[in-house]
Amino acid sequence: MKLRVIKGSNPGELLAMDGDTFTIGREEDNQFVIPEAGVSRHHCRFSRIDGDWLVEDLHSVNGVLVNGVKVDGGMMVKVGDEITVFSHQFRLEDDAATPEAKPVFTAVSNDVVNSAFPEAESPVVEAGPESGKKISNGLMLKLIALLVLLCAIGVVVVVFLRKADGGKASEVERSVGVTEENLIDEKELSSLKPSESVAPPVEEVKIVEEKKAEADEKSAEEPAKVDEVKAGADVEPEPEGEVPAAVTQPALVSAPNLLVVRSVPSDAEVLLDGEAVGATPLVLKDLKEGRHTLELSSRGYEKMTRQLQIPEREYDKTYKLVLKPGTIEIVTRPAAAEVWLGRKLLGTTPLLLENFAAGNYEFTLASGGCEKVVVPLTLTEAKGEHIEKDLPSILGSLKLQTTPASCKIFVDGAYMGTSVVSSDNAHISEPFLVENLNPGWAYLKVLHSSGKYDASLIQIKKGEMLSTQVAIWLPTHRLTKVTGEAQEVMLLKEGENGDVVVTREYQKPEQVFKPQISKLEKLEDSDIAEYVRQRAETKRPGESGPSTKSQYSLTAADFASQAKRQEFVPMYGRKMISLTGQVTGKMKDRYGAVILNYTTAIRCYMVPGFSTADLEEVDKLIEAKRNVSIRGLCEGIRDNTIIMSNCICISEPD
């Protein structure tokens, strides 16, 4: 079975449902992912049951529709049904798609007869004494074939007229030669009841050919051909080879005696006619026709009893159980939250509390990383109560993509994991998710295996997810131009005509046309590591070893004196710098960001949301002509001024 996308992303795409289940949702572990906010993490599931398919709504927020009808728990689907999941619409199709039923014929032409009965087609002959006889024989065969087709249509019409008139024979029956022996018995016809839950608006029937004459050995060896047609529509038989000796008859098809039992809550014990048969959700197959007693029971809930008639019109049902009086059920998202009544811990969610007296209660729900929620409740003697709460998170999360992939990720010095290559683009990584981070400013470091890294300050907000991308410049190719100039570059894009877009370290992307290129060689990992090692060996005055530090602590005067060095950007660019010195100026830009100046050589942009208390403290230090210490990210040099970003105050100098 397959799903065809008829609305949404990639219309016309065919989705193969090869296994026993097929899920749709927002999470990556679904077989089909719809990355939209209106789609739940696990929205719906298709399940194969004895060759048929069942679609289930997995408690989604926006629900699932089948042919415009909302699914309540689950619903059986068939080929041609249209399933709607938020903005996407799918159609269920068979593995071997068959053309839709064609319109009823209004006339039969000689071409149709010739194609159906090739042996009846008149041969092309030259004019002669016998030609008139041959043409007359061919015309005669065509007329016989046409008469047989008309008889077949008449028999089908008579059968359905007999059903509508209660079995009374009419003159039409006698005119086409229909007898009591070749019609379905009235009692047998009334016992064949199609399942209304699976049947489309027009009942499906099967036309089965009767056996041909035993004298025809060729026809006896071939299997009977089965064609599906719609009830009430005219039927155009498509015989192959010789005309069959018997006229085909329609027979109604009944659904299997199947029952799908679900309950809210799930895992309820199910008894059928007093015998335990399992727990919900449950599929019962091959049930005997007739009346049955179905019982559902679950701890803390009233027992439910229902009388069923098999086959059921709606054989996929969800039963909602009712809490017993004095019972309280508490469910939270996330689960495993502690439930307190005053100073007494009652347990963790999901929790079922029984035998509570009527009265007023106040429950406190607490979970690590979430705000406490207080729930007042009035319990009556008439019924139980259900509490369902979302606990707001006090933590934040980070979603990060790295360029290139396979980079180690650190937050405040703690290793969080390694990014993996995206399945869609080999140059970037799949989104890397870091959850349960404390709100506030954090130090993010992304480290490549070559030793090169990127570091920055990020702000984690309570209950929110920060999405960001980090790109580390690394040479991927060696580009040699026709002039003989060779450069290590990062390849960003390669055109079909041979043009490329590349970037060099600390340079803007540039386009190089094919006539300018002599050779473009891909660098091995060892070549990249060697390049990074050589670049890291740049030394600062007074240092004896390579400059491989990720953070520096300098006075503002010393840092400003380094600006004229050629190696300044490779040494300090995109690194965390701690500065101490007297602030000579304070201002705000047009966006309201606070800027501190250490003389005219260093400009520090403070983090967004720089607090009023911090600003007042800086004003006091400036007025007292005392040093101000900050830490931020060195962005490079602009207009002979060192630019620092995401700066924060760290402490007062000694």
Domains and CATH numbers, the chain: 2-93 (2.60.200.20), 259-323 (2.60.40.1120), 328-390 (2.60.40.1120), 396-470 (2.60.40.1120), 477-538 (no CATH), 556-651 (no CATH)
The confidence score (pLDDT) of residue 537 equals: 60
Report d(CA 410, CA 417) in Å as an integer: 8
Whole-number pLDDT of residue 146: 81
Question: Alpha-carbon distance 189 to 193, whole Å?
Answer: 8
Residue pLDDT, tens place only, 301-337: 999 999 888 887 777 889 999 999 999 999 999 899 9
Nearest to 444 by CA among 458, 460, 465: 458
- 584 vs 600: CA distance, rounded Å: 8
Residue with tokens 């079909």: 496
> Which pLDDT score, from 0 to 100, does residue 611 have?
65
DSSP for residue 193: -
The pTM of this model reads 0.42
Q: Quick one: CA torsion of 222, 228, 229, 234, rounded to 10 degrees?
A: 0
Distances from the Cα of 375 to the Cαs of 242, 246, 326, 342, 347, in angstroms?
Answer: 80, 76, 17, 12, 15
Q: Which residues pair with 52 in a beta bridge?
A: 49
pLDDT of residue 62: 86
Give the sign of the dihedral formed by CA 605, CA 607, CA 609, CA 615. negative
User: 307 is written with which tokens?
Assistant: 């009388």
Q: What parts of the chain have a pLDDT lower than 70? A: 96-138, 158-256, 506, 536-551, 591, 608-611, 651-654
> Quick check: bond before 325 cis, omega within 30?
no
The span from the CA of 437 to the CA of 380, in Å, is 42
Contact 146, 243 (CB under 8 A): no
Edge-to-edge order in the sheet of strand 74-77:
32-33, 21-25, 44-49, 52-57, 74-77
> Is the Cβ–Cβ distance between 136 and 123 less than 8 Å?
no
Contact 310, 368 (CB under 8 A): no
Cis link prior to 570 (omega < 30° from 0)? no
Q: How many CB atoms lie within 10 A of CB 565?
A: 14
| Res 536: pLDDT | 64
What local confidence, expressed as pLDDT, does residue 106 receive? 38
Quote the CA–CA distance of 6 and 581 in Å, as a whole number: 65
Closest C-alpha among 201, 251, 267, 199 to residue 52: 199
Q: What per-residue confidence (pLDDT) applies to 619?
A: 85
